[in-house]
Amino acid sequence: MFRRSLLAAATAAVLAAASCSPASAADEVPLGRLSRDVVPDVVAVDLKIDPSKERFSGHTRIDVELAKPLKSFWLHGRNLDIKSATCATADGETVPLTIEQAHEAGGVLKATAPDTLPAGKATIEIVYEAPFGSLSGAYQVKPEGVPHVMTQFESLGARITFPGFDEPSFKQPWKISLTVPADQQGIANTQQVSVEPADEGWKKLTFETTENLPSYLVAFAVGPWDVVKWKDIPPNSVRKTPLQLRGIAAKGQGGRMDYALENTAAIVEAMEVYFDIPYPFDKLDILAAPDFAAGAMENPGLITYRDYLLFVNEDSPVGERQGYWGTHAHELAHQWFGDLVTMPWWDDIWLNEAFATWMGNKIVHQLHPEFHTDRGLMRYGMYAMGQDSLASSRRVHEPINEYTDIESAFDGITYAKGGAVLAMFERFVGEEPFRDAIRDYLRAHSRGNATSDDLIRSIAAHSKDAKGVAAAFHSFIDQPGVPELAVTLDCEGEQPLLKLKQRRYLPLGSVVERIEGQHWGIPLCVRYEADGKLASQCELFDKAQGEFALDADSCPAWVMPNADGAGYYRYTLDPASQQKLTAAFDKLSEREQTVYSATLDAAFSAGTLDASAYLQSVPLLASSDVRETRLAPTGKIGWMIQRIATDEKQKDALRAYGRAVYGPMLKQLGLDAKDGDSDEDRRLRSALIGFLAGTAKDPALRQELANRGRRVLGMSVGDEPGDGKLHTDAVPADQLGTVIWAASELGGKDVFDMLERHFRSTADPSIRGDLLSAMGNMDDKALTERARQLVFEKDLLRRNELGPLLGSQAGTDDDDRRVELRAWVDQHFDKLAELSAPKERRVASLYSANMCSPEEARDLDAKFAQRMASIEGGPRGMAQTKERIQLCSDLREAQAKHPLVIPEYKAL
């Protein structure tokens, strides 16, 4: 998916003669969409794969329709060693094709025939060999040194595995067959229908023809995989037949999938009831991937996940267990939204990802309300507002002109803003009408493609104001930015009303020039107290300024301009109304209290609230019963310590303030879990421990955690001897990573040696991540360098383990350690980019971590602008990173102009 080494310029292919795709290809190589001169109808892919080898071979047969006579055409393929290519034309003639690599990084091939091919039906056949990819395409994983092969084709991985038409609008049936070693497994999207002996030591597996699918959703796996046959998901009111369910894991790991398999049926059945459409494919396999660039991938019938997500159980850390539910529901939602109905091009990828984000949270909240995923989705939308405030932000429905733009679309704007906008319109339209709109949309476009207009038209048709809702929805997806409502309460007339003005919210230092009259169609809902009663009102506010009349006989005691936090917008209140809202904080709903805290964050980032004033609000936020609201100030306190505290005395004073606020909470909750603790209790405890030990540096807590970490590592504590063994059960699962980190924070070479020893001897993905983070966290320069050298040891790290190791070094607040890391990243960029493929832009993120000055922004640009230019997602990623650095610098300078007054903490 990102830039990688490719074979030299043109991949030689074969004989000349008539072609089977778009006539007379234009001279300009298409780096975006292909023409529709040649359209695939059915694709057959026959692969021969031995996971222990470095290469595999394939034979692809594509039935196509030529719209007009052609001599040459474009298709997709990259790093393919093509042995032969032919085209059988409508008149019965079979001619050879010459295929050359027209653009390496973009994966575009040019096929040329010796003479013009006639319009009509034709069949292209290509025989080739190819190397395995790097976490993209068909690639190798080697858990405990045992080779397996799996796939990841979104967004451009299919073209490095087989030649074809690699775009989501080309949606057709696929016939997959795999020739594999006789003692190994082969799994694909559909049920296996036959197995027959092949060459000596081989067997050929043939699978049922798929439903219509784009190339990015094709998937398979080959190797000594454990295949866990689970009980079928039984029929229900929507689906009349059983659904086969299986778990796929690396050799020896299948027994760890019981929890994941046991809880799958509930999610599938809830989705089926909501959509009123049966699960759309012939089986459901869930695969635990030992190495994976993404979190999960929605391949129909063969969904792939990072293995730790499918290895959870009831005793796992709360975050990991809830992560399973959220991720699993997200991917299962895709089976309808994305797989059954697919966007035609990557500009509409939000239809897949925003919907799965919203729907996954909705279904998990339905099944487990105690997880509070409704609040999680709201917080996710607030996170997106940070990116959406940038000048370099993109629209939800952003044009995608070429391959380097595609990866940029997989970001917080697509997932989080898109999900929040869907939730906002669901509330405004109504839950049942919105559901009916989704059902109609899916039925109308089943097995095909659909666009943003199609979805919005369906939702609008089920609303009370089709024209207004459609225009409002488009206003949120077709322009970037977060609307900000300036709200003034006016009680001078006969009826109280809100005077409203909207504009784009901008952080301090933004280079965006506000557009006069710019506005959104905001589904505005307000809640207020008047005449001794609570009331809510909603209307579509689609003007730059206007009035909102309240249905009250007297002036409200207070007004919350974003009722239940359902709206994707920010607000400001006139000073008197803000004071009244603050006084009514305990009357706000859980979600409204979180919105209140986010409004303070926005004011801080905009420079209208200084650090001292923010600190004055901490007791109020900390008094909330809502975990997210209670903890909201912890990040800001950490930022103040790092960015605006002028000396160690001021840093210590901020840390002491943090301990004064949050220490009593942890004491009341207890350091260790108690019987009857809820998930919220456990998550709060973990967050408090992390803040107090990390940011606030509570010495007694840090030492206690370090002692626990040493016991986990089998090391001595005082007079208590160690046995050198790893004791993961020595502490609650929620504390494991924290205590290992604390041991490294307070330890030296002896701790590092033990961390490395245990890392080399465990295959558990969660524990490996904890150990790597701790090794990267060491304070000693020689040990941090030693940790970095692990990156280059062959087959030691999984590629998705670079993050835990190097991320802990990038996140340090030690300036010298960050400078050392940046020099190392610059020196080893090529190797790190290779290891990070297909996510090479993460190398620039590693280099830029914690930058907050113009000098650092210039340094980043000088070192990485050219490197990122041809990488998928690289150009926009660089622009946003540089802008964030500039905004951080401007905010730091502005806040530093105000005296920092740290108040004495008094709990409310």
Q: Give the model's pLDDT for residue 160.
A: 98
- pLDDT one-digit tens code per residue, 675-722: 999 999 999 999 999 999 999 999 999 999 999 999 999 999 999 999
Cβ–Cβ under 8 Å, residues 298 and 217:
yes
Residues 502-535 as b or e (16 or more Cβ within 10 Å = b): bbbbbbbbbebeeeeeebbbbbbbbbbbbeeeee
What distance in Å separates the CA atoms of residue 245 and residue 235, rounded to the nearest whole number?
A: 13
3-state secondary structure of 24: coil
| CA-based nearest residue to 244, from 257, 229, 256, 255 | 229
Which of helix, strand or coil describes residue 284?
strand
Q: Give the residue-averaged pLDDT of 793-808.
A: 93
Q: Which residues pair with 284 in a beta bridge?
A: 245
Closest Cα partner for 365 from 326, 315, 335, 336?
A: 326
Q: Output Rg (C-alpha) for the chain, integer angstroms.
A: 29
Residues 6+ away with beta carbon under 8 Å from 71: 18, 19, 23, 24, 112, 113, 115, 116, 117
* Alpha-carbon span 409 to 399, nearest angstrom: 10
Q: Given this model, what pLDDT does residue 181 score? A: 98
Average pLDDT on 415-426 reads 98
Spatial CA neighbour of 453 closest among 408, 381, 397, 413: 397
More confident residue, 458 or 22: 458
Q: What is the pLDDT of residues 282-333, one digit of tens each?
A: 999 999 999 999 999 999 999 999 999 999 999 999 999 999 999 999 999 9
What's the token pair of residue 321? 């267990």
pLDDT attached to residue 518: 95
pLDDT at 12 > cutoff 80? no
- H helix or E strand, kind and range, residue 209: none
Greater confidence (188 vs 841) lies with 188
Q: Residues of the chain with pLDDT > 70: what percent? A: 97
Q: What is the pLDDT of residue 219?
A: 98
Q: What is the pTM of this model?
A: 0.95
What is the arithmetic mean of pLDDT over 78-103? Answer: 96
What's residue 813's pLDDT?
A: 82
Pairwise CA distance, residues 829 & 812, whole Å? 20
Distance, in Å, from the CA atom of 177 to the CA atom of 172, rounded to the nearest integer, reads: 16
pLDDT surpasses 70 at 11: no
For residue 18, pLDDT beyond 90 = no
SS3 229: strand
How many other CB atoms sit within 10 Å of the CB of residue 674? Answer: 10
Give residue 23's pLDDT: 33
Asked if residue 14 has pLDDT above 50, the reply is no
**pLDDT 10s digits, 225-244:** 999 999 999 999 999 999 99
The predicted pLDDT at position 615 comes to 97
Please name which of 481, 484, 633, 482 lies closest in space to residue 572, comparing C-alpha atoms.
484
Do residues 82 and 13 touch, judged by C-beta distance below 8 A? yes
Mean pLDDT of all residues belonging to the chain: 94
If one compares 429 and 835, the residue with the highest pLDDT of the two is: 429
The strand pairing partners of 525, in sequence order, are: 538
State the DSSP string of 451-505.
-HHHHHHHHHHTSS-HHHHHHHHHHHHSS-S-EEEEEEEE-SSSS-EEEEEEEE-
> Collapsing DSSP states into helix, strand and coil, what is residue 257?
coil
Using CB atoms within 10 A of its CB, is residue 247 exposed (0-12), middle (13-18) or buried (19+)?
buried
Give mean pLDDT, residues 127-156.
97
d(CA 17, CA 97): 5
Region at 306 (left for phi over 0; alpha for psi -120 to 50; beta for the rest): beta
Residue whose structure tokens are 């030296």: 748
Task: Say what the pLDDT of residue 16 is.
Answer: 29
When comparing pLDDT for 757 and 904, which is higher? Answer: 757
**Cα 829 from Cα 336, distance rounded (Å):** 40
Strands 55-66 and 70-76: unpaired
What is the distance between the terminal CA atoms of the chain, rounded to a whole angstrom?
52
Phi, psi of 324 (to 5 degrees): -60, -50
Q: What number is the average pLDDT over the span 470-492?
A: 98
Q: What is the tens place of the pLDDT at every residue in 47-56?
A: 999 999 999 9
Nearest Cα to 444, choosing from 275, 579, 207? 275
Structure token digits, residue 153: 């084709």
908 has a pLDDT exceeding 70? no
Residues 29, 520: Cα–Cα separation, whole Å = 38
pLDDT band at 872 (very low <50, low <70, confident <90, very high): confident
Look at residue 830 and tell me whether its pLDDT is greater than 80: yes
pLDDT at 621 over 90: yes
Q: What pLDDT is stored for residue 26 in this prediction?
A: 52
Instruction: Answer whether residue 3 shows pLDDT above 60.
Output: no
How large a percentage of the chain has pLDDT more than 90? 93
Residue 281 has what pLDDT?
A: 98
Going by C-alpha positions, the residue among 629, 685, 133, 62 that lies closest to residue 378 is 629
pLDDT over 60 at 1, yes or no:
no
Quick one: pLDDT band at residue 873, thresholds 50, 70, 90? confident
